Amino acid sequence: MIAAVSPELQNIGWALAAIGVTLVTLSMVMGIRKKRRKMSGRVTARENLERYKAKAEVRDDLERVMVEVEEMARRVSAQLDAKTVAIEKLLRDAEAKVEQLNATLERFERAAAATTIGEGKDDGADDPPATDDPVAPATPAPPGAASPQDELSRRVYALADEGHAAPAIAKQLDEHIGKVELILALRSA
């Protein structure tokens, strides 16, 4: 029966067989390529292990940095607390000094007022009592003489009226800034 097939059909049979073999070969090649693509996208167990190790190292580094930051924050906080306590103590001391200076100033003003009132009398009965205060003058200045302190005060007031700040005034007059600030504070009091 195969012998009775015409030669044209035999040629078509061979052509179909060749096409079939070609299609099978093509599908096999495509399958191999597909597997290679999948394999290239896949990560081996060793690569996965390396990735996990790297992630663990990064996590450990981050935890270490976080711990260091927390320790540094605690140290800075402790330093700030200590400095705050020191500043509060200095403020209390300064307030005590201001109160002491105000009390001394009041005594000085009372003594000066008593001296001014007593200048009209020569009996000495209204003279202010002697104090151990180092700020109070031992003997009042003669009425016509200007003390160096008064001259300094006038110069400080003049510069302050011109708009100069206490540090600039102190520098210009070659005086301590605290002295200039005290003179200005006494002026406003």
Tens-digit pLDDT profile for residues 33-66 = 888 777 766 667 888 889 899 999 999 999 999 9
pTM here is 0.33
CB 160 within 8 A of CB 169: yes
What six digits make up the tokens of 30? 């495509």
Quote the crossing angle between the two packed helices 148-161 and 177-188, to the nearest 10°: 80
Tens-digit pLDDT profile for residues 135-154 = 444 444 444 444 556 888 89
